[in-house]
Chain A
Amino acid sequence: MMLPDTLTSSALWFNSLLGLALLWPLLLSIKVMWRHVAAGDQGVVQYLNGWWLSAAWPALGLVLVGNGQWILDGWILGGQWELTALSRAWLMFTALLWALAALHARGYFAHEQAEANAGDTAARRRLLRLAVLWPLTLTGNILLIVAQDIASFYLGFSLMTFAAYALVIHDESQRAVLGAHVYLIMAVLGEGMVLGGFLWVAGEAQVLTLEGLREGIAQAPHGVAIAALLWGGFGIKAGVIGLHVWLPLAHPVAPAPASAVLSGAMIKAGLLGWLNVLPLGNSLLSEGFLRLGQLIMVVGLLAAFGAAIYGVMQRHPKAVLAYSSISQMGMMTTLVATGLTAPDNWHLVWPALVLFVAHHALAKGALFMGTSISEHLPAWPLTLMWALLALPGLSLAGTLGAGMVSKWGFKSALYDNEQTTLIWLLSLAAIGTAALVSVALWRQWQQRQVGKGNGWQLYAWLATLGLALITPVWLPLPAESMPFPPFAEWPGLVWPLPLGVLAAGLVLTLWTPRPFIVPTGDLWWLYAALGRAGANVYGAMVHRLFITKASIVTRALAMETLLMKRLEQLLASDAWMRRHASGLMMALAVGLVALLAWENIPS
């Protein structure tokens, strides 16, 4: 690790930089709106200008300042913002990716800006929306990383989730609208589960901070159920198998820089959610947590293999990459699960996991940006271009650079605990990774186009690529947790690559099913059909109820009319009595007199 723990111990520095890191993107968002309004009804401004590109820079500066804590008493339910060893590393790769993706976006959207300049109001509207909501999404992402209190974390998570809707729907095509809606529906489902889990544990343990929450879950009577609920809620973001359906639908339709941050930074927020709420590495856990850990591990492995098998049959390169993300997240899920199944080993696993996540973030970012490069190939030698495009994939498969370090990192951490089966399974999953990136490259090759590129786009991609390969150099983690693998271990790390390429070649040449057999978004179509059927049943029920209610109302009204009639008859009899009051009085008097007379008759 290159960065010192703290550059300066001044709390003032830390607090003001933290405030700036959160406020700066917000201010830029407002600035874009202001410039847009000031330009008038027909005016067009450069939406992604130099200021806009700097949105993530204060956050990077904050990482350099180092660890610290800021307590905000008046904030929501009491704020606690903190950079710990974990959140500092997390913020580093997240902010870095956001900063690079913004540079890439400048180039990616250059033609849209040109269209807007030429008077295309639709392009102008789309750019404005992107320029406003991109920094907002970033703010949410930063906040959820630094937040150590539940309310701030939930705020950051929701802000990021909902603002990112605009990034997915950006080009407004029919497929983009579908992808964005699937994204939103799943996100709302996830928010609901997370809210339920938070309320439950907050009630059981009466805590406001994430640390308290982790301890509370470990001790609460229904701790395992709460943990499972929260795991599912964050799992929607992290692409747990079964809940992953939005990823392959949203990623291909989003613009490349948006896909990059979506896959690189935002789905990682789900993973961070797990690290924040699950009692990982707590050795005093009940039997139930062990079972939960085993379940999570199985689900993670299912995702790692299932997504790889399904993904290689996809045609759109970004869909293949989305399935690759699901597969990779499955591997990370498995590693998270070891925190429950083998808590004593967690202190070794988590730095390896963070390195894995950080490297995947940058590498996947580079791969997604690469899809836009292969659509606008510069006039460079073709071999060089394809070698560069393949590099992040090779690294992800664990054959070179940071990928190798990362894979060695978690392998050796697991060796310490003798989890050989798991290591073996994860190595097998790496075959899937290699196959997926090979297929993605092949699809890119088939759909390649030359020219119309832009320098911003190209160099941002190259920078992301380079930084991905040297992740351990800049990631603020203890250096001893990121050892470089000894030469003797290299074959053990590299062997999945040729197998994966071979598998990809076999699939591509022997059997490529038609798209309708392996639709992108797999289970979504089943869910949608079930949802529609459910809605139909509900609609029929409501209709029946409506008819019942209407008949009850009719009957009640009829009864009321009848009652009123009786009442009127009664009143009419009253009128009759009034008319004959004198006669009646007379009769009464006579009757009374007769009564008295009868009583006075001596017997």
Chain B
Amino acid sequence: MNAAWLPPMALSTSLLAAVVIFALPENAWRWRTGVNLGAALVKLTLVVLLGYRVVEGHRDTFRFPVVEGIDFVLRADALGMMFAGLSSLLWLCTTLYAIGYLEGSPNRKRFFGFFSLCVGSTLGIALAGNLFTFLIFYEMLTLSTYPLVVHRGTPKALDAGRVYLRYTLAGGTVLLLGVVLLYSLAGEHSFALEGSGLEVFLPDYRGLLLLIFALLVGGLAVKAAMVPVHGWLPRAMVAPAPVSALLHAVAVVKAGAFGILRVVYDVFGIELSVELGMTTVLAVAASITIVYGSLRALAQEELKSRLAFSTISQVSYIVLGISLFGPFGTIAALTHLLHQGLMKVTLFFCAGNYAEELGIHRIDELNGAGRRMPLTSLAFTVGALGMIGLPPVAGFITKWYLGMGAVQAGMPWVIVVLVAVSMLNAMYFLPILYRLWFRLGPAHGHGAWPEERRLGHMETSAWLLWPMVATALLSLGAGLFAAMPFSPLGWATAVALGDYLP
């Protein structure tokens, strides 16, 4: 039984929510909050339902032809459900957080409207059944995030927004070119074929296939913030914390990484990618990005920009995992898609809390913040240890599978990269933890916080606190109980073994 109505319905919850929010007046706080949360919950339920049906073996597909030979396809498959599940879960957390974060600030209607559109596009990307559909939502994501990045309207924000648009639109154009070339060569190519069908062109069109691969991955790499096209990401830090959290954990960078996953696994297929020699190139590019991002993060003095460079480094773990041909590499890539999201969203929530409650933006202002905001600092500690890759936090699991995948793929040098980056991560995260917990600061009567506000009875307002605690616990749980059947690792293993490997 094909429940064709399910994918579009899941998609339309966010889009409808966006329309309703735009229609509501600016000061209808209760209504807007209700619509936001209601839509997030409904969507989460629908995605869980879809996921359940995927486990049962259904592949719910919704399709209509746009023009002759080009179809609009929404299709729920195991890989897409991973991304959809992540985005719906974190959307709920981020929405809660954003409600608390933007309390009393202007233009909330615009913010939440585009916020919903942004998440809707992400879900569209997850459910897209072919490259054409993917491209539509991919561009929609670009456009709907722009208002979020420039939300504050300061010259710096507008500047960052301009840079963001330049990068992503240029990347989108390159991607479009690749898609057009592919359609002209092979016609409609559904993700459902799982990478079969292009081999026939290999003898005659090797060069063209290489060009298409390079265009597709090159275009997607802009959003995945791979070096050297990563420049927009650190600048986009001027956006409000929930936007940064969403950008880094779910929406934009993940859309890029997820796109690369689709291209390698579902369009070209892993065998063809290896045959074209592109996986080694990808592995080297990812390794360079990983090391470069960590080195740059080391030099940052602002908390959010250090996290931004850390994202550049961490997202490329996914690409690295893809490039390691073999089950372990695939599992690592898929797991990290979820793990990095959980950990990074936690870290950005924490950074936002420090900024909102105490006015802290720079790392050297964090001295002794552990005493003033213990839960936030604990969550930050969990996220940071996870980024370093220490057990039992989720990051360890990814690192483990990446290492195994590297040896399996005959690229043991990747282990050197992994260890070096773990130590670099330790070098830029441990000093922060040291400041949080061991240095004396305003909480001990030395100096004052930059701009202290008392937002709630606890260390900060409950809207800001609990989503962060939830994601921190999820990051911890994803590592601690990784061997459970429905953990991210379990799901990723099922996807990798069931879908992509013979």
Contacts and interface: CB of A to CB of B under 8 A. Distances in A.
B28 interface: no
Given A121-B444, A125-B444, A203-B405, A76 B392 contact: yes
Given A74-B481, A77-B400, A125-B444, A189 B391 contact: no
B473 interface: no
A77 B407 contact: no
Given A203-B403, A203-B405, A77 B397 contact: yes
B483 A195 contact: no
A158 interface: yes
Q: Is the interface of B mostly helix, strand, loop or mixed?
A: helix
Given A188-B423, A196-B415, 8 more contacts: A76-B397, A77-B483, A121-B444, A125-B444, A151-B391, A192-B420, A196-B416, A203-B328
B408 A195 contact: no
B276 interface: no
B390 A158 contact: yes
Contacts of B415: 196, 199-200, 203
Contacts of A191: 390, 422, 426
Given A155-B392, A199-B415, A542-B299, A184 B400 contact: no
A264 B291 CA distance: 38
A188 B424 CA distance: 10
Contacts of A193: 419
Nearest to A196: B419
Interface string B469-490: 0000000000111111000000
A188 B426 contact: yes
Contacts of B389: 195
Interface string B360-374: 000000000001000
Contact of A200 (B299, B397, B403): B403
A193 B423 CA distance: 10
Contact of B479 (A73, A76, A169, A200): A76
Nearest to A194: B419
Contacts of B422: 191-192, 195
A313 B445 CA distance: 42
A154 B479 CA distance: 13
A202 interface: yes
Contacts of A122: 444
Given A151-B391, A158-B391, A169-B438, A75 B419 contact: no
Nearest to A203: B407
B423 A200 contact: no
Interface of B: 299, 328, 371, 389-392, 396-397, 399-400, 402-408, 412, 415-416, 418-420, 422-423, 426-427, 430, 437-438, 444-445, 479-484
Contact of A151 (B396, B408, B412): B396
B439 to A, nearest CB: 10
B403 A154 contact: no
Contacts, number: 97
A192 B437 CA distance: 23
B408 A155 contact: no
Contacts of B391: 76, 151, 154-155, 158
B412 A203 contact: yes
Contacts of A125: 371, 444
Nearest to A180: B438
Nearest to A128: B371
A200 B412 contact: yes
A116 to B, nearest CB: 14
B325 to A, nearest CB: 14
Contacts of B407: 199-200, 202-204
Contacts of A151: 391, 396, 400
Interface in A174-209: 184, 188-189, 191-193, 195-196, 198-200, 202-204, 206
B502 to A, nearest CB: 19
A39 to B, nearest CB: 14
B333 to A, nearest CB: 16
Contacts of B405: 203
A188 B430 contact: yes
B480 A75 contact: yes
A492 interface: no
B403 A76 contact: no
A78 interface: yes
Contacts of B418: 195-196, 199
B309 to A, nearest CB: 14
Nearest to B480: A76
A200 B402 CA distance: 10
Interface in A53-107: 73-79
A205 to B, nearest CB: 9
A266 to B, nearest CB: 17
Contacts of B480: 75-76
B408 A203 contact: yes
